[in-house]
Each structure stands twice: as structure tokens, then as C-alpha cells.
Structure 1
Amino acid sequence: MVSRHSFQEGGTMRVALLGQFGSGNYGNDGSLTAMVASLRRLVPEAELLCICSGPTEVRRRLGVPSVSIGAPAFVSARARALDRYAFRIPNRIRGLLAALSACRGVDAVIVPGTGILDDFHDRASGWPFVLLRWCIAARLAGARIAFISVGAGPIRGRLSRRYLTWAAALAHHRTYRDEGSRDFMVSVGLDASHDLIFPDLALGLSPPPRSLVKVAQTTVAVGLISYFGWVKDGTDSEAIFEAYLEKMVAFVEWLRCQGCHVHLLGGDDSDARAVTALLDRIDGDQALRGSGAVTIGTGRSLEGVMEELTHCDMVVASRFHNVLCALRVRRPTLSIGYAEKNRALLTAAGLGPFCLDIDSLDLETLKSRFLALRSEKCNLIPRIDEFLTEAERQLAQQDASLLRFLKDA
């Protein structure tokens, strides 16, 4: 086991950040950005390393040295064939060895935010296994592990549940972004008696300046998601997507009839499919786009999404971090969520009644909730302000907690 850094020894601390970063999910990348900013403020002398899905993108965007979470690929066709015949065991062994090599000399491994402890659109052999492998490697290399403001649950696959619970159990320090996440981990057998709750890390990102441009027409941001159900590539995935899309098409057309300008955006690169499909249905001749009645978001980061939302009056969104961005820029928000995390966030902000479930979405209910949001928006902004003030206070406490963890690393 390698010797560990001590602040008192005056050595250089090495901190690795582990997660699904650089692969097109704006919320995940925003969580990483917030954590990098915190570490550069708390331990400016520390050397950072990112272990992620898209190391090239992370290096480009944040200037942080990065390595891939995956095992090096077999070069020869024969080796790949043998790996398949051996049930991928050789590749998994190589993956563990690569993880051990990357963790050598690392003092702390931090999993910063994200819904890392669920299996949405994933299989046990995907991120649940990868996370467990890296946590085992970190332990064997003598590094301390922290899960910071993570989301948890649901985990519907039995094997995924085991892998993710084991990975979380290997951590020396855990905090969650809401009570539901901690309660879920307790329900699957994790001892969370010492685990704390702090806000999502992305609430620490600085919002853009408030837009001073006022227009007479109400602008509604509609955050779309390419939603195919919880299970990836399920037998009814396309039918689920089509049912969701049909309702969102009808809702956007209704907003236009209400005299609203509509701004469409996503929260992941994959959401371009939903945006494109909706536009094909409502604006095949591009007349709405040509007149500016419907606009398309171009931001590919939480900072970019927040900047666009400052020009909107209200937000209707599905992605958790789109909802968070709306709150961060003080916009009344209605959520169409696929998990309880959206409800937990909006309830904390005093907007609990404005949460709908994507799987049971009813168009008339969506319309009535939007009308209620519009009529109450002036009363909702002070609640959002109180929420943001409290989140800022709690994130300062999170920084103090993180610094204590790092001093022990």
C-alpha cells in the first residue's frame, strides 16, 4: 500500500475525479466543473486527475489531465475473439490492472455528484461494474474514496444493485444530494448512519448576469429528453418515445396558441433526436424558426443552458440539471421527471406541486399545471431565492466537510 499524503508533510496531494464526464451529458460535466472549482479553491496545490468516459473532452474543456475509465482495447482480432469466448474475463482483468496503475500514487478518489448510484439506461456490466472496479482499485492502491452530493436510486437490476451498493460501501466518506437518495441506499443495505445531505454540486456554479431585455411575449423554455423508458433498448422503447413525443408536440402547439414564444433545448447530446423529431412535426417548413416563434438552444454545458434560460420567463423540463439550471437563474419551473430526484429538488425550492411523472404524463394535467405556474410565478420567485440562499450556505458546509476528508487522505 502506498504512503498517503499529509498536509503537514508538505507534499503534493493527488486527487482523482471519477465519473461519466466528457460524454455529452451537461449535468454530469457541470458537476465535474463545480468540483474542480472547489478543489482549486480549497487545495490549490493539489494535482488533479480525471478518470472518465471522455478524457479528451475533459482535457480540452477544463485543462485537467484525464484517463479513460475503460480497459485498453485488444489490438488483434484473435485476442478479441478469445476474450469473447472467455466471457470477457481477460478484458475485466486488464481493466482492473489499468485502474490499479492509474490509482497508484493517488491520495483521494472523489465521485463528484451525478446520479451515479442508479441504473438508468444501463446494465450491470456497464457503469455499475466499472464503478465497483475503480473503487476496488482505489482501495488496493491505498487511496481514500469519497462520494460527494451523489444521487441514488432507483436501481432496478439485481446485479446492478449489488455492484453499486458494494462500490458505495467501499467509500470512506459519502454525502447525498437529497434525503431520498440516502434513504434508498439504506433500503438496499448500506449503513448510511454517518452520511450527510448537501445540495447538488451544480448549484455552486455561478449564474450568468440577469437579462435586462424585456419582451412583451412570454418565452417558455421546453427542455426535451430522448426518453425510451428506464431500461435501455427495451422491447417497448420506441413506443414509449413516440407516446412522450406526441404529448410534447401537442403541448408546444398549445403554448403557441397561448401566444408564447417557445425555446427548445436538451440536457444531453442524445436529446437532439427528440428536438429534431418535434420540429419535424410542428415546423416542417421551418416557418416558425424563420419567424423566431420557435428557437433552438445551442448551449452544450450547464453554463450555456443557464445563459439561454435567462432570456426565458418560465421553464418546463425533464432533465434534472435543466430543472436545476432554471432554479439557479430564478425561473419558475415545471418538471416532467422520470425519477424522484426532480420532485425532491423542486420540493426543496417550494415548487413541489409543479412536478409531473413522465410515464403517466397527461396532456390536460400538464396544461393546467402550466397555467397555475404562470399565474403564481411572481409568488414563486421569492421561494426560489430562499432556496438558493440556503443552498449556498449548505454548500459552504460541504466544502468544510470535503476539506476535512482531504486532510485525512
Structure 2
Amino acid sequence: MNTPHITIIGSALSGNKGAAAMLESAIQTLSERLDNPRFTLFSMYPREDREQNPYENLDIVAADPKQLGVTINTLALVYRLLPPLRPLLRKKSKAIAALTSSQVLLDQGGITFTDGREKFLLYNVASILPALNTGTPVFKCAQAVGPFENPINRRAAKVFLPKARTLVTRGRITHEFAEGLGLTNLFAGADYAFSLEMDGDEAEAVSQHVDLSFFDDERDVVGVCPSVVLQKKVDARGGDYAGQIVSFVEDLRRQGKKVVLIPHSVRTGTEKTHNNDLPLCREIHAQLRIGDDLLFVDRELSSQQLRYLIGRCDLFVASRFHAMVSSLAMAVPTLVIGWSHKYREVLEMFELEEWAFGHDKLTPDYLSERFADLDAQRESVQARLDAHLPEVKARSARQADLIAEIVQGG
């Protein structure tokens, strides 16, 4: 057969390290299953992704929303409608060349076709439409979809989701939404980032930027991962998200715990807040008192380095979805403040759904109360993590088998 070639969209190396974890999990697992595969990433941040790309077999193609929605989609439609122009299009367009030489497109959008996120609906469609027009099978990696009560979202989902070769659902709630829509191209999986493996050099790499002796004494270390997405939702209803996190952190420190403040989504060199929690974390840190019981990770780290750092914590409080995935993957008891069913359905796999609550309930008192409960029950939480993690990781890795079967002509 031809050299295995896989095109990927919806993830990145820069910015959101959850997206990086999904991308790198795909590269790792498929490189184990296929003979010298090549990968092409359709990137929203091509310059940053090229600068951070450590993979010789990964090419980066520019695909910001305008390039994807207008240029790539138009060329793919022309490719479908005017066969005589296909050789020219493959020669002139890196995107068309990648799609037409790939055995599959992996859509790694973490949450798509979801009520309340209609402003992203065009992007959800634009991400897979070029592959549909070039005849490239679409594999939607583990993600959340639904609910589908909004007529516009429901109509779009009924048109486009059945066209995917496979849709991997990321939990029970998503699977039920998808079945309720009548979809049959489903596989009940787990987030691809659960398959991410560390290379063993993370401690050395992290130690160049972070004082790891912070973790060496007997005091509990609590990881806190804020999210600008949560900040916008809380502040929009008149709350003060940053102030609430400050209050919570200082309460932990009064209890004798140490706190590490970790941004899990960072874009170096910009103050823009899309996929960038660093400005928010700096705002929070500026309001905290200085002390040897506080560590602030004031920089961009790789997905593996962040996973290693999270794994050094005794307890974790997450607002970023993939920070939660990393803490669960490292078997760290975790409290989650979320905004969608996507958090709860993952925790359900560990019988730990009680440890997630919505941003609408967020107050300093409630957060401290729920954290105290987690602290008191950490042994039973730890036992459930240890019991269920092998099964969850196996469900995550199974999607790599399904992708490899498509690539190999299955």
C-alpha cells in the first residue's frame, strides 16, 4: 500500500495543551500501529505550531478559520465538481494534496455540534466538509456532541454527523445524545488524551523552568488550574471568577497546604485570551501573597510536561477539561468546575461524577466545602481512580485500532 498518511484537524501543539495531548496521542499510538506514517495538521496557529513541532513526520498546513472556511472549502468543492482540475489543485494546494493523499481525516474537535455553541457550528462543518468533498473518510476522534434541541444545531448534526465513517463518543451522555439523533456510526470510547505517554525526560525538562523541590516536603500540594472560559461565564452573570479563585487559594494556604497555579492553555507572546489562560493566571497570582507555599508556572509547557507536573500534586482542582483528563490519567483525586456535560461524563467512567459541579454554583464557600469533602474522601477516590484507569485507557487506545483499520483498507 502507499505510505500511510493521516490528516488531522481540530487540535494543535501550541495554545490549548489538551489539543496538543490529543494530537500527540494520535501520533504516538498510530506510529506504533502503522509502518512509518506521515501526518499533516491543519493548524489554526501555523507559525506557533511549526516552532513547537518536534515530529519529523508531522507537516503543518495553515488553516485558520478564514483559510479553512473560504479557501480550503472552496478548493475542495471545486475538486469534487470539476475532475479535470484535480491534478492542478493537488499541485497548487497543500491542503488538497494532503487530503487527497490521506487515507483518513481525524477530526479532533473536543466538543462539536452542541446546543449553546452555535457560533462554532460553521467551524464544526467547515472542519469536515473538505474531506467529504475530496472523498477522504472522516473519523471523529473521541469528543462531546449534543444536546440537539436547538433546531439549527439539530439540522446540521443530522446532515453531517452521519457522513463520518466513525464518531467516537467521549462518555455516556454524549453517546445517548448521539443515539437519540439516530446515529449508528458510533463507538463508545474515551478521550484520546488518556493514551498520551510521557517519554521519561519530563522531570529534567520541567526542572529547567520550575523549582521541583517545591514538592519535596510532607505538606499536601494542591494543583489549581483556572480557565478563561469559566471566567467569562462567571463574570457575565456578575461574579468575580479571579477573586473567587484567589479566596480559595488563600484558604488552602491557611490550612497549611501548598498550591501550584497551573495554566493548561497558553499561547506564548500574546495577551489574547482565546486558548490562553496565562493572562488570567497572572491576574490571580498578582493578588496572592508571596510565600514558599505558592508556586506559579508562568510559562508555556508541553502537554507531557504539564501531565508530569500535575502528577506531582496530591489533589487537583480543574476548570480546563484536559487538565482534568491529565489529573485523572495520573490518578490524582480531582475536583472539577465545569460548564458542560463533557466533564461529568468522563468522571462517570471512574464513578466519580459527584466531584464535578457547574460554574453556576461557584462561590468561595461552596468551592471550599466541596474541596474539603474531596480531601476527606481522598482514599476512596484514589481507589476508584486506580480501579478504573486501565479500562479507560484501553477504551481510549481502541480508537487508534479503528483508525489503523481504516488506513489499512479495513
Query: Which TM-score bucket, shorter chain as reference?
Result: 0.7 to 0.9
Give distance in 1, aligned partners of 2:184 and 2:327.
Answer: 32
Report the residue type matching 1:198 in the other structure. Answer: G
Report the equivalent of 2:283.
277
Q: Note closer, same or farther for the CA distance 1:278–1:32 as it changes in structure 2 (3 Å cut).
A: same
Give distance in 1, aligned partners of 2:402 and 2:73.
Answer: 34
Whether the 8 Å CA contact 1:25–1:267 is kept in 2: the answer is yes
Report the equivalent of 1:257.
254
Greater shift in the superposed pair: 361-370 or 335-344: 361-370
* SS of match in other structure, 1:199: coil
Aligned-residue offset at 1:72: 7.3
- 2:292 corresponds to 1:292: yes
* SS of match in other structure, 1:282: coil
Report the equivalent of 2:311.
310
> Runs of 5+ in structure 2 lacking a partner?
79-92, 204-211, 267-275
Aligned counterparts, 1:133-212, within 5 A: 133-153=126-146, 159=152, 162-163=155-156, 165-187=158-180, 189=181, 191-207=182-198
Aligned counterparts, 1:5-404, within 5 A: 10-59=1-50, 60-63=52-55, 64-70=58-64, 93=74, 100=96, 102-112=98-108, 114-118=110-114, 124=119, 127-153=120-146, 159=152, 162-163=155-156, 165-187=158-180, 189=181, 191-207=182-198, 214-227=216-229, 238-240=235-237, 242-269=239-266, 270-283=276-289, 288=290, 291-297=291-297, 298-404=299-405
Q: Deviations over 1:33-87 (max 9, x none)?
A: 00111121111333321112123333442431121224777xxxxxxxxxxxxxx
Q: Note closer, same or farther for the CA distance 1:238–1:393 as it changes in structure 2 (3 Å cut).
A: closer
When normalised by structure 1's length, the TM-score is 0.80
Q: Tell me the matched-pair count.
A: 370
Whether the 8 Å CA contact 1:117–1:150 is kept in 2: the answer is no
Whether the 8 Å CA contact 1:148–1:175 is kept in 2: the answer is yes
Whether the 8 Å CA contact 2:317–2:335 is kept in 1: the answer is yes
Q: Deviations over 1:189-240 (max 9, x none)?
A: 3x32341111111111125779996422221111111136788xxxxx7544
* SS of match in other structure, 1:342: helix
Give distance in 1, aligned partners of 2:108 and 2:174.
Answer: 15
Aligned-residue offset at 1:384: 0.6
Give distance in 2, aligned partners of 1:175 and 1:343.
Answer: 17
Give distance in 1, aligned partners of 2:132 and 2:72.
Answer: 20
* SS of match in other structure, 1:378: helix
Q: Which has the higher contact order (CA 8 A, sep 6+)?
A: 2
Report the residue type matching 2:29 in the other structure. Answer: S
> Runs of 5+ in structure 1 lacking a partner?
1-9, 74-87, 232-236
Q: Deviations over 1:380-402 (max 9, x none)?
A: 21211112111233234333322
Q: Note closer, same or farther for the CA distance 1:227–1:109 as it changes in structure 2 (3 Å cut).
A: closer
Whether the 8 Å CA contact 2:230–2:339 is kept in 1: the answer is no
Report the equivalent of 1:7.
none
Whether the 8 Å CA contact 2:11–2:109 is kept in 1: the answer is no
Aligned-residue offset at 1:111: 1.4
Report the residue type matching 1:343 in the other structure. Answer: R
